[in-house]
């Protein structure tokens, strides 16, 4: 088990990165949220609640998931 910020929270911190969603799913949810797709539609696609989608979109949860890397092409910078 990895070291935690505080011994009382060691189990919560260890379990924190074992969420239901993959990192790619979180990135996709953020992208859809930013595009303005309805929360209910995103939530039903992933089997999660609307408040969870909102928190992912606002970057309140899954903070360790980095944004999608950018790819530089001849036309400019594109998100992949």
DSSP string, 18-78: --SS-HHHHHHHHHHHHHT--HHHHHHHHT--HHHHHHHHTTSS-TTSPPPPEEEETTEEE
The topology (CATH level 3) of 21-79 is Arc Repressor Mutant, subunit A (1.10.10)
Q: Kindly report, residue by residue over 70-79, the tens digit of the pLDDT.
A: 644 555 555 5
Domain boundaries, the chain: 21-79
pLDDT at 20 (0 to 100): 84
Q: Kindly report, residue by residue over 20-60, the tens digit of the pLDDT.
A: 899 999 999 999 999 999 999 999 999 999 999 999 999 99
């Amino acid at each position: 088990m990895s070291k935690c910020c505080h011994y009382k929270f060691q189990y919560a911190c260890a379990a924190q990165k074992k969420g239901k969603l993959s990192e790619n799913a979180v990135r996709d949810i953020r992208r859809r949220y930013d595009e303005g797709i309805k929360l209910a539609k995103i939530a039903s696609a992933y089997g999660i609640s609307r408040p969870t989608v909102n928190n992912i979109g606002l970057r309140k949860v899954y903070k360790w998931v980095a944004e999608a890397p950018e790819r530089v092409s001849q036309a400019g910078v594109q998100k992949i």
